[in-house]
A = this chain, B = another copy of it.
């Protein structure tokens, strides 16, 4: 696969490395609205910088990886669909449902392989948990608990443009919930507080939130978000069922243990999402290439982006209105 990367920022650089290591993909070009960034990254991996237009016009390019700023995702996704290129798009497609639905319609009329960057589905530990649940290891799944805490809050100005905690941060957890619950989510209850940075509250957002989801058969799911965990990136999932419980635990750099004056001490969880999900980013590229070759759906697609966004909107509404929001199943 000849793949062009749109976006040479931090997340684009992560993808560039994963592409470089994958034997089945060639990094065909890099684009960025800031041309020198594209050139630098292209040089680093021995490829060329192109404009976005040039990429879409280039018949030798099979696929694009959209890692530019959120506001451009839907447009680029539609252009890729129109030009018949496979798509790996960073989440979200857009911050509102209407724009997202438009993009999905374009994909429907111009079908191409389209993967969405819900990287956590590719994490080895979460994937093993998913597989164990699917294989019946815990019998009937009954409850799910997702704890997801960032090491440090973003600047308040970012928060304003991000769409808020539910759309920007918990969106990943909504996707994990949908993926693991494996049946329609019917109700959402949410609450939130601003406990970490008052500027976030002034920007109209919360920095600490709890949500409960209910599914069609009555499964319950709790999501627990905080914008700051002083000990690092806290990413855990607990699936409880009739025959047992599965717990995905935090990863640390090594398993070295010190015992001394302060007690029995193991390392802190990895601090940064790029380290924590390094393997996930690598597997995400692999799944995308395989899906494209095998003409099958990737592990996460555009529809999953729409559904996670609907949950985020319902959570926001629940927070505001103080009531359980029913999700229309005929959206």
A226 CB, nearest partner CB in chain B, Å? 7
A189 part of interface (Cβ distance < 8 Å): yes
Question: Contact: A231 with B244, CB < 8 Å?
Answer: yes
A111 part of interface (Cβ distance < 8 Å): no
- Interface size class for chain A? 35 or more
Question: Contact: B254 with A125, CB < 8 Å?
Answer: yes
A191 part of interface (Cβ distance < 8 Å): yes
> With a CB–CB cut-off of 8 A, which chain B residues contact A192?
220
- Which residue in chain B gives the minimum CB-CB distance to A254? B125
Please tell me how many copies of the chain the complex holds.
4
Contact of A264 among B128, B140, B248, B266 (CB under 8 A): B266
Can you pick out 23 interface pairs between chain A and chain B where the beta carbons lie within 8 Å of each other? A125-B254, A140-B195, A142-B196, A142-B208, A145-B224, A189-B191, A193-B219, A193-B220, A208-B220, A210-B220, A229-B240, A229-B245, A231-B261, A234-B245, A244-B260, A247-B258, A250-B255, A259-B268, A259-B269, A264-B265, A264-B269, A322-B324, A323-B323
- 16 other contacts beyond A189-B212, A230-B260, A251-B255, with CB at 8 A cut-off? A132-B258, A137-B260, A140-B195, A187-B191, A189-B324, A193-B218, A208-B220, A209-B220, A210-B222, A222-B222, A228-B242, A231-B245, A245-B258, A249-B256, A263-B267, A265-B266
Question: Contact: B264 with A255, CB < 8 Å?
Answer: no
Contact of A226 among B142, B194, B246, B254 (CB under 8 A): B142
Contact of A247 among B125, B212, B259 (CB under 8 A): B259
A88 CB, nearest partner CB in chain B, Å? 22
> With a CB–CB cut-off of 8 A, which chain B residues contact A143?
208, 210, 224, 226
A25 part of interface (Cβ distance < 8 Å): no
Question: Contact: B218 with A195, CB < 8 Å?
Answer: yes
Question: Contact: B226 with A240, CB < 8 Å?
Answer: yes
A213 CB, nearest partner CB in chain B, Å? 9
Interface residues of A (CB under 8 A from B): 21, 124-125, 128-129, 132, 137-140, 142-143, 145, 147, 149, 187, 189, 191-196, 208-210, 212, 214, 217-220, 222, 224, 226, 228-231, 234, 240, 242-269, 322-324
Among A147, A209, A264, which residue has the most Cβ atoms of chain B within 10 A? A264
Question: Contact: A255 with B125, CB < 8 Å?
Answer: yes
- Which residue in chain B gives the minimum CB-CB distance to A240? B226
> With a CB–CB cut-off of 8 A, which chain B residues contact A142?
193, 195-196, 208, 226
> With a CB–CB cut-off of 8 A, which chain B residues contact A248?
254-256
> With a CB–CB cut-off of 8 A, which chain B residues contact A322?
187, 323-324
The distance in angstroms between the C-alpha atoms of A257 and B322, with both chains bound, is 34
A238 CB, nearest partner CB in chain B, Å? 8
- Which residue in chain B gives the minimum CB-CB distance to A248? B256
- Which residue in chain B gives the minimum CB-CB distance to A245? B259
- Which residue in chain B gives the minimum CB-CB distance to A244? B260
> With a CB–CB cut-off of 8 A, which chain B residues contact A242?
196, 228, 230
The distance in angstroms between the C-alpha atoms of A194 and B220, with both chains bound, is 11
> With a CB–CB cut-off of 8 A, which chain B residues contact A209?
220
